Amino acid sequence: MDMPVVFSDREDQSRLESVIERVLEEARKQGASSAEADAHMDAGLSVTSRMGDVETIEHTRDKSMGVTVYFGQCKGSASTSDFSDNAVIDTVKAACSIARHTTEDPFSGLADAELMAKNIPDLDLSHPWSLSAERAIEITKECEAAALNTDKRITNSEGATIDSHQGIRGYGNSHGFIASYPASRHSLSCSVIASEGDKMQSNYWYTVARKHEDLEALTSVGRKAAERALGRLGASPIATTQMPVIFSADMATGLISHFLRAINGNSLYRDSSFLKDTLGESIFPEFIRIDERPHLIGGLGSTPFDNEGVATTARDYIIDGVLQSYVLNSYSARKLNLQTTGNAGGVHNLFITHSDLTQNDLFKKIGNGLFVTELMGQGINIVTGDYSRGAAGFLIENGEITRPVEEITIAGNLRDMFKKIVTISNDIETRGNIFTGSILVDSMMVAGQ
């Protein structure tokens, strides 16, 4: 089988930047007062094996470009996956046609020229993996086998999947800014089903990294998926009550993402956030700091510039529990009479204060409570902060896990939940853009039987 495509970073970056330059030139020719283009090239391999057989092998090579033009403050956008000169001309023409028919928006336009990234640091984001389909098949089969061999109660599998992708992202605008950078991302996941009598439970585990050498061992991924499924056997509801709740680190990232959504400029200027007009207010307990580190070497969320070419910078959102900054792009910043925070496209590597306590220490600290390892549904109202989601996990009694729990709902209000955070353990989730340990919330309503 063929080896996957491996980009020549510098050569392909130059090609991508040339296409962006051509777009901007064409936009000027067609009368646009300003323009911007965001382009991507991506290549990858994805393989899934299930019950020892190969289910899918997918080689991908994609490219795409979004073009936005402005006639004053009238905006039009179009996109293409064809980088040929004729396609560039047609795409710009389509964007210009839209812009000429749109209503002027006084807040639209490029981010301010002085905010463009002047220097593009090497953040060590690109580590291509010359992974053959044959080797990918071996890895997925070995990973799944490790899960199936963990215990005879692992009776079925939803498969093991390996993904290896590398790409180049480029952006340019009429301020004279054009830049690009390469990045890679590799992952391995496994999902299996445990059975006991007529009861079945499924669970999964995964690992992700910029460098394939940093992926968790394939047998470990399989075993953890199996152990998590086995741990769910015998799950049942508990009686409705109020109790302390610990969100496992991977679930705690979701809790923090609700905070980010609430301080996002798009929610704020629409008056659809419970944290509107809270700059300078205490949102979390005093021991909590939340800060962004966009230039973390090799970080999964690292980037030298945001989706508008604005230089990314380290930033504190929470200091001593107090809100210091919103998450803004240039449009939402103008609507709020503020300046962009370089977060067009989201935040980049968010770190949350943690203690020296382990997850087991949290169990002992609460004595009796709930350890949440799964959340279901979308019962979050960012306008009011009301929170209600289906959950599963484990009952904690006398500081120890005693049995698995399912078919329950946990409820509260995010503002209260943030203030009721007692501590955060040191089991940091590192597989994404939010770095947090398990979060202990002092009290929540748990609805069961």
pLDDT of the chain along its 449 residues, tens only? 444 455 556 889 999 999 999 999 999 999 999 999 999 999 999 999 999 999 999 999 999 999 999 999 999 999 999 999 999 999 999 999 999 999 999 999 999 999 999 999 999 999 999 999 999 999 999 999 999 999 999 999 999 999 999 999 999 999 999 999 999 999 999 999 999 999 999 999 999 999 999 999 999 999 999 999 999 999 999 999 999 999 999 999 999 999 999 999 999 999 999 999 999 999 999 999 999 999 999 999 999 999 999 999 999 999 999 999 999 999 999 999 999 999 999 999 999 999 999 999 999 999 999 999 999 988 999 999 999 999 999 999 999 999 999 999 999 999 999 999 999 999 999 999 999 999 999 999 999 97
pLDDT at position 378 is 87
Question: Is the same domain home to 126 and 244?
Answer: no
**Of 231, 262, 296, which marks where a domain is finished?**
231
**Residue 273 maps to a domain:** yes
Q: Where are the beta strands (DSSP E) in 53-177?
A: 53-71, 74-80, 154-173
Q: What is the dihedral of CA 303, 305, 311, 312, to 10 degrees?
A: -30
Q: What letter represents residue 63's amino acid? A: K
**Residue 3 maps to a domain:** no
Question: Is the same domain home to 179 and 96?
Answer: yes
Strands in 322-323's sheet, in edge-to-edge order, are 322-323, 315-319, 290-292, 350-352, 434-435
Question: Is the same domain home to 213 and 276?
Answer: no
What is the dihedral sign for C-alpha 416, 417, 419, 420? Answer: positive
Strands in 199-209's sheet, in edge-to-edge order, are 74-80, 53-71, 34-50, 154-173, 178-196, 199-209
**Residue 4 maps to a domain:** no
**Residue 2 maps to a domain:** no
Instruction: Say how far apart CA 363 and CA 398 lie, in whole Å.
Output: 8
Q: Considering just the CA atoms, what is the radius of gyration of the chain in Å?
A: 24
**Residue 1 maps to a domain:** no
Number of domains in the chain: 2
Contacts of 73 (CB under 8 A, 6+ apart): 104, 105, 106, 107, 108, 109
**Residue 112 maps to a domain:** yes
Instruction: Say how far apart CA 45 and CA 377 lie, in whole Å.
Output: 31
- Sole residue written with tokens 């089903």: 193
Q: Is the pTM of this model over 0.85?
A: yes
Question: Is the same domain home to 282 and 194?
Answer: no
How many other CB atoms are found less than 10 A from the CB of residue 264?
23
Nearest CA-CA partner of 319 in 287, 294, 351, 296: 287
**Residue 277 maps to a domain:** yes
**Segments forming the whole domain that contains residue 114:** 9-231
**Of 179, 199, 231, which marks where a domain is finished?**
231
**Of 231, 248, 266, which marks where a domain is finished?**
231
Question: Is the same domain home to 263 and 352?
Answer: yes
How far is C-alpha 75 from the chain's CA centre? Answer: 28
Question: Is the same domain home to 215 and 268?
Answer: no
Q: By three-state DSSP, how is residue 110 classified?
A: coil
Question: Is the same domain home to 183 and 197?
Answer: yes
Q: What letter represents residue 269's amino acid? A: Y
Contacts of 91 (CB under 8 A, 6+ apart): 23, 65, 67, 78, 79, 80
Q: What letter represents residue 217's amino acid? A: A
Question: Is the same domain home to 353 and 412?
Answer: yes
Question: Is the same domain home to 154 and 223?
Answer: yes
**Which CATH number is 54's domain given?**
3.30.2290.10
Tokens of 308: 């508008």
Q: Where are the beta strands (DSSP E) in 328-438?
A: 350-352, 369-376, 386-397, 400-413, 421-424, 434-435
Tokens of 433: 């853009």
Question: Is the same domain home to 37 and 129?
Answer: yes
Instruction: Say how far apart CA 34 and CA 418 lie, in whole Å.
Output: 43
Helices 133-148 + 218-232 axis angle, to 10:
40
**Residue 222 maps to a domain:** yes
Instruction: Say how far apart CA 103 and CA 50 lie, in whole Å.
Output: 53
Question: Is the same domain home to 270 and 206?
Answer: no
Question: Is the same domain home to 274 and 226?
Answer: no
Judge whether 260 and 370 are in contact, CB under 8 Å.
no
Instruction: Say how far apart CA 371 and CA 377 lie, in whole Å.
Output: 18
